[in-house]
């Protein structure tokens, strides 16, 4: 296995938010290289326990290696964090961390097909043993209007229709198989013209999110993870783009409210009072300090939100 390189973001802020302690029990639902996980184990010495999962077998193996010094204080499993409640009892954890998205290792490994900067197979699956479609399957089979919606909704790509229509024509003769082929094709359709980012950036983000159905996992996973916490336990979530962050923010606001409402919109006439289930610890979330940004540019778009579970009345 190649050396796994990923620098954890907002590490101090995560540890400060989760306040790991001896006897505590934690879940890292996105182990990656195990950077946050080892900090949680360290801070909960001598006997804090950590469950860890990742969809990616390579990440899991790397994290397992890194956590070896902690002996039997951790247990890992290859799965989606939405499935954590199949092996962890409800109301049993003091803290959960979800550090969403992909690791630097995944982005920097051409064979994984996440990056338009290095040529590799157009794959993008976090779980390469899974049965889900690859990015190439989506690019080569979705009707142009669905592909355009995907680029627009998940990537905010303003040339979504133009790119999707061009892909539909091109793939009849030459299906897309590599990241380089797709990146160069998009650049031909939408030339760079001095822009700081590569013209394929947004389409690649959209394809990655769709290939891994990432927003559904976040939507589902938050709810399930929150149920694993004991009262006073904390859910910490780091997101890297606005679609994810909106889901996290809305979930936390909903749990912190003292009412439910009927219908699609919150209107005072349709509110039913209830006790809040959680308390938001930092309303706008935490972002990286200047000193972290100096050493880890990937932290630029990271936002950490934290919700504490409140006791039931």
Ligand X SMILES: C[S@@+](CC[C@H](N)C(=O)[O-])C[C@H]1O[C@@H](n2cnc3c(N)ncnc32)[C@H](O)[C@@H]1O
- Residues at the site binding ligand X, with contacts judged by CB under 6 A: 6, 8, 29-30, 32-36, 53-56, 59, 80-81, 99, 101-103, 126, 217
Q: Smallest distance, Å, CB 183 to ligand X?
A: 22
Burial class (CB in 10 A: 0-12, 13-18, 19+), 33: buried
Q: Smallest distance, Å, CB 127 to ligand X?
A: 8
Q: Smallest distance, Å, CB 92 to ligand X?
A: 19
- Which helix (H) or strand (E) segment holds residue 247: the answer is helix 242-256
Q: Which is nearer to ligand X, 32 or 199 (CB)?
A: 32
Q: Which is nearer to ligand X, 102 or 164 (CB)?
A: 102
Q: Which is nearer to ligand X, 62 or 150 (CB)?
A: 62
Q: Smallest distance, Å, CB 17 to ligand X?
A: 14
Closest residue (Cβ) to ligand X? 32
**For helices 179-189 and 160-173, angle between their N-to-C axes, nearest 10 degrees:** 130
Q: Smallest distance, Å, CB 129 to ligand X?
A: 13
Cα–Cα distance between 43 and 24 in angstroms, integer?
10
In the DSSP assignment, the letter for residue 281 is S
Q: Which is nearer to ligand X, 156 or 220 (CB)?
A: 220
Alpha-carbon dihedral angle through residues 297, 303, 304, 310, given to the nearest 10 degrees: 180
| E runs forming strands in 79-228 | 93-99
Residue 262 half-sphere exposure toward CB, CA atoms < 13 A: 3
Q: Which is nearer to ligand X, 13 or 56 (CB)?
A: 56
Cα–Cα distance between 72 and 51 in angstroms, integer?
11
């Amino acid at each position: 296995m190649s050396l796994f390189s990923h620098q954890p973001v907002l590490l101090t802020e995560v540890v400060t938010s989760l306040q790991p302690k001896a006897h505590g029990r934690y879940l890292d639902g996105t182990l990656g290289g195990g950077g946050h996980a080892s900090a949680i184990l360290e801070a909960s010495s001598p006997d804090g326990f950590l469950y860890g999962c990742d969809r990616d077998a390579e990440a899991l193996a790397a994290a397992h290696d890194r956590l070896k010094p902690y002996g039997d204080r951790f247990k890992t499993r290859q799965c989606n964090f939405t499935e954590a409640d199949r092996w962890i009892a409800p109301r049993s954890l003091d803290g959960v961390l979800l550090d969403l998205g992909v690791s630097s290792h995944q982005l920097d490994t051409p064979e994984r097909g996440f990056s338009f900067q290095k040529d590799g197979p157009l794959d993008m699956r976090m779980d390469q043993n899974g049965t889900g479609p690859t990015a190439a399957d989506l690019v080569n089979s979705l009707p142009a209007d669905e592909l355009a919606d995907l680029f627009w909704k998940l990537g905010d790509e303003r040339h979504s229709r133009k790119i999707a229509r061009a892909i539909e024509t091109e793939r009849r003769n030459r299906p897309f198989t590599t990241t380089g082929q797709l990146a160069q094709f998009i650049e031909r359709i939408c030339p760079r013209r001095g822009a700081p980012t590569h013209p394929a950036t947004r389409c690649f983000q959209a394809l990655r999110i769709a290939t891994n159905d990432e927003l559904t996992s976040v939507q589902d996973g938050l709810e399930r993870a929150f149920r694993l916490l004991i009262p006073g336990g904390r859910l910490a979530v780091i997101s890297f783009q606005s679609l994810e962050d909106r889901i996290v923010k809305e979930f936390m606001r909903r749990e912190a409210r003292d009412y439910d409402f009927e219908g699609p919109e919150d209107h005072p006439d349709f509110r039913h009072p209830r006790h809040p289930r959680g308390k938001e610890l930092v309303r706008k979330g935490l972002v990286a300090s200047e000193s972290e940004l100096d050493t880890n540019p990937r932290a630029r778009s990271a936002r950490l939100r934290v919700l504490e579970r409140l006791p039931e009345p």
